[in-house]
Amino acid sequence: MPRDIARVISWHSDIVKQKNLLRVYQPLLSRVTRNADAVVAATQAHFDASTQIPDELPPEKRHVIPYGLDFDELALDVRSRLKRDELLLQAAGRPIVFALGRHVYYKGFEVLIEAMRKVDALLFLGGDGPLRNQLIARAREIGVEEKVIFAGRIPESELSAYFHACDVFCLPSVEQSEAFGLVQLEAMACGKPVVCTQLGNGVNVVHQHGITGLAVPPRDAGALACALQALLDDPGLRKRMGTVARMRALEEYSVDAMTRRHIDLYASLVKRPHGVV
């Protein structure tokens, strides 16, 4: 690429699991990042927690632009309203916990299934992936198969039904690979409190412990169960946290806000002489 073209890197996450690949890739990654005119991350925690962004990258090249979502897609329509009612009927009066994501190592769904031993609720676990059969077997093994519904891949047209049907959304991730958690933002936009884990990254910037929900140590099934049950037992707390969560999502993480911030950044880079920050 010609050197007179500004370079912008969007940094979503450090490489966490592919350590062998990182050893080969790191020199190129460091060189390209150092030479960038701007590096964009969704939260300051992405920069603070990263061990792979070069230390010498100056602060003026580090830009925080939160991800934005089109929250209009989460509004209930006739079809999704009917699906929501089906889910509530299936729960038969039991509180509902919802979790969603690929069934992979860093999502921590095995911890959530373990926590369900001590949670008086029905869990709808959406998504699919290589660990699906293992998770199903674990639920059966510990005797919570009646409390865990494996919903599989949920069509986009039905997602809002699950978010609006649940009482609490759970993001039980256990690794830094979960760097932001868009699904928790969707739950927040639907007015739901979130229980997540303290990963010390963007997940805990989007979701604020004690304000938009609760956060617990990763891989701690007991703490996760206590947090979920605490919210399920307190409708007033759920409503207060859910209301604040929705306000935060709509005000800070909209598509319009994200677009405006990116355009402002690109415009500022185009106006600069190359190499000047």
How confident is the prediction for the chain on average, in pLDDT? 92
Tokens of 166: 């649940």
Q: Same domain for 235 and 259?
A: no
Same domain, 220 and 244: yes
Task: Tell me the one-letter amino acid at 172.
Answer: P
- What tokens were used for 242? 């859910």
User: pLDDT band at residue 89, thresholds of 50, 70 and 90?
Assistant: very high
Task: Reduce the DSSP state of residue 254 to 3 states and report it.
Answer: strand
Q: How far apart are CA 209 and CA 212, in angstroms?
A: 6
Taking Cα atoms as reference points, which of 180, 177, 219 lies closest to residue 197?
219
Q: Please tell me whether residues 77 and 197 are part of one structural domain.
A: yes
Whether 1 is covered by a domain: the verdict is no
pLDDT at 43 over 90: no
- Asked if residue 3 belongs to a domain, the reply is no
- CA nearest to 47, candidates 29, 30, 64: 64
pLDDT digits over 216-258, tens only? Answer: 999 999 999 999 999 999 999 999 999 999 999 998 898 888 9
Could you read off the pLDDT of 200-213 as tens digits, one per residue? 888 999 999 999 99
Cα end-to-end distance, the chain, whole Å: 19
Closest CA to 139 of 117, 168, 166: 117
pLDDT at 1: 63
| Per-residue confidence band for 136, with pLDDT thresholds at 50, 70 and 90 | very high
- Residues 196, 87, single domain; the answer is yes
Find the CATH number of the domain harbouring 242.
Answer: 3.40.50.2000
Cα–Cα dist 83/67, whole Å: 28
User: Are residue 97 and residue 50 in the same domain, yes or no?
Assistant: no
**How far is residue 108's CA from residue 141's CA, in Å, rounded to a whole number?**
17
- Co-location of 124 and 238 in the same domain: yes
90-128 confidence digits (pLDDT tens): 999 999 999 999 999 999 999 999 999 999 999 999 999
Domain that holds residue 128: 71-252
pLDDT band, residue 277 (cuts 50/70/90): very low
pTM: 0.80
How crowded is residue 20: how many other Cβ atoms within 10 Å of its Cβ?
A: 8
With respect to residue 2, please indicate whether it lies within any of the assigned structural domains: no
